[in-house]
Amino acid sequence: MATILAMASLAVACADATSPVPEDAPNVVLIIVDDLRWDAVGSLAPASLSTPSIDRLANEGITFDQAFVVQSVCKPSRASMFTGLYAHSHGVRTNVDDWTQKQKNIFRAMEVRGYRVGYVGKWHLGGKTPPDWADRWVSLSGQGEYVDPVLDIDGAAVPYSGHSIDALTEHAIRFVRAAGNQRFFLVLSHNAAHAPFVPQDRWRGTVDPGSLEIPSSFYDDLSDQPAFLRERAVVRNESTLRLTAEAYYELVRGVDESVGRLLTALEDQGILDQTLVILIGDNGYLLGEHHLLDKRVAFEESMRVPLIVRYPPWFDGGEHSDGFALNVDLPATIMHAVTGRQEGFPSHFLPVPRVGIDQSLKLTADGAHRQAFLYEYFQDSRFPVTPTLRAVRTPEFKYVSYEDPAQIDELYDLRSDPLETRNLVGEEQYRQVLAALKLELEDLRVATGDR
């Protein structure tokens, strides 16, 4: 293991020794959707919600059915997407921390390879803006307002009359149209669908709250789970939950419309099929499960996200992967598309199936056999009720460990209890499973530099 870590460190140190970019290297568009649940799009979405543009991405690309973030908070998750590192390595442990950009990151890697780099949307990572790698910079202050936001456009404050989804979409399309023949890397980072939920007027009332199912874990009494969960339980009324979910899903409809507009712009420029398009949620979101809203915790609804990739040279369309795909896999995946090599990012490629397409054109699926991964959360001074935790997720089980001795650990058998309502940590028949997961957690911490 020490040898592997040393090789990874050497690769990162040599990251700026760039290789030539092949003539057929793609443009790259990364669409980040704030607080997007894994089941908020496509056939998994509620019956009253339609996401035709995101469905198009899936039908023309690949869906990673087991995609997760390694920390379910906005700033740490985004820093992980841009560096391929866990929060304990890149330093953005909470939403209070800013990112120094000292680590190798995908923006610099694309810039030095001649890509025109555009960032449009929620940044939230602090530091001087615009960064020097940005050829075009359109961001929001912090989380940003939904209605009449003030945009930071290349360092100048510019008010916008309307909704942030429309503002960001328009600027993303302008960037695509202005790129000309130069390859580009565009991040469109929506502040939707983050609370407080304020959808565009044209989507208000388009989701019937009465059609939204109350999750069965809403009725979980939390009696065998950590005490802080009972403190965090904020939603007890079904009607209030339905209205909250209605506004959330109406924001998702606005994001779906934005995706469609951007795909159309790429088509109009004649470059859609030469563009690697990735859509991912920065974290999940609990909508009443275990009486909770928000994220942070290690429940599936918090850490699991949609992840869809469209790129015809790699994927015929309608493909699915059931391997664990993580947000830290994105930089290595993008670099493989651009250069044909991993280029020094210390993470896996996304776990693509080894069928269907010439493997010389497709990713080496080094994440396909990942049997477990580490999830972490660090206590935030502004939201202190959720304690520091680390968890290990396998295909069958999840074990959650807390630094606070006042909290009981959690163990779930996801085969028989996918909704995580029965904590098995004290049950004798799972004693050996628990011991094995504790060892796995320690191994993952060592492997990711958390020890």
Spatial neighbors of 20 by CB under 8 A, at least 6 apart, are none
Of 339 and 272, which is predicted with more confidence? Answer: 272
Enter the DSSP assignment of 284.
Answer: -
* For the chain, percent of residues with pLDDT exceeding 70: 91
DSSP code at position 409: P
List all residues 6 or more positions away from 270 whose beta carbon is below 8 Å from its beta carbon. Answer: none
Q: What pLDDT is stored for residue 312 in this prediction?
A: 92
Lowest mean pLDDT among 140-149, 265-274, 334-343, 372-381: 334-343
CA distances from 341 to 8, 27, 31, 355 (A): 14, 16, 23, 20
Please give the Cα distance from 104 to 429 (Å, whole number): 45
For residue 169, is it within any domain? yes
Assigned domain for 15 exists: no
Using a pLDDT cut of 90, give the percent of the chain over it.
Answer: 78
* Strand 184-190 relative to strand 116-121, pairing: parallel
The arithmetic mean of pLDDT across residues 9-30, rounded, is 67
pLDDT of residue 18: 60
The whole-angstrom separation of Cα 66 and Cα 39 is 11
Spell 217-256 as b/e; 16+ CB within 10 A means b: bbebebeebbebbeebeebeeeeebbebbbbbbbbbbbbb
Q: Residue 80: how many CA atoms within 13 Å on its side-chain side?
A: 30
Looking at the predicted structure, is the pLDDT value of residue 251 above 60?
yes
Distance CA(380)–CA(378), nearest Å, equals 6
Q: Give the amino acid at 7.
A: M
Assigned domain for 193 exists: yes
Residue 343's domain comprises: 25-369
pTM of the model: 0.93
Crossing angle (nearest 10°) for helices 238-268 and 164-178: 20
Provide mean pLDDT across the span 14-23: 62
Residue 21: which pLDDT band, with cuts at 50, 70 and 90? confident
On whether residue 162 sits in a domain, the answer given is: yes
Q: What SS3 class is residue 55?
A: helix
Under 8 Å between Cβ of 375 and 393: yes
**Residue 137 corresponds to which tokens in the numbers above?**
């910079």
Q: Residue 177 has which token pair?
A: 């149209």
Output the pLDDT for position 82: 97
- Whether 325 is covered by a domain: the verdict is yes
pLDDT of residue 431: 97
Q: Where are the alpha helices (DSSP H) in 271-310?
A: 300-303
The whole-number pLDDT of residue 345 equals: 84
For residue 393, list its beta bridge partners: 373, 398
> For 32-41, 111-120, 139-148, 360-369, which range has the lowest pLDDT when averaged over its residues?
360-369
**47: pLDDT strictly greater than 90:** no
Residue 446 phi/psi, 5° resolution? Answer: -65, -45
Number of folded domains that form the chain: 1
Mean predicted lDDT score pLDDT of the chain? 90
What's CA 32's distance to the chain center, in Å? 7
Q: How confident is the model at residue 103 (pLDDT cuts 50, 70, 90)?
A: very high
pLDDT of residue 451: 83
Here the CATH number for the domain that contains residue 320 is 3.40.720.10
Is 432 a member of any domain? no
Within a domain: 433? no
More confident residue, 43 or 255: 255
CA 60 to chain centre: 20
CB atoms within 10 A of CB 29: 25
Does position 12 have pLDDT exceeding 50, yes or no?
Answer: no
> Which 3 state secondary structure label does DSSP give 86?
coil
With respect to residue 12, please indicate whether it lies within any of the assigned structural domains: no
Segment 126-138, tens digit of pLDDT: 888 899 999 999 9
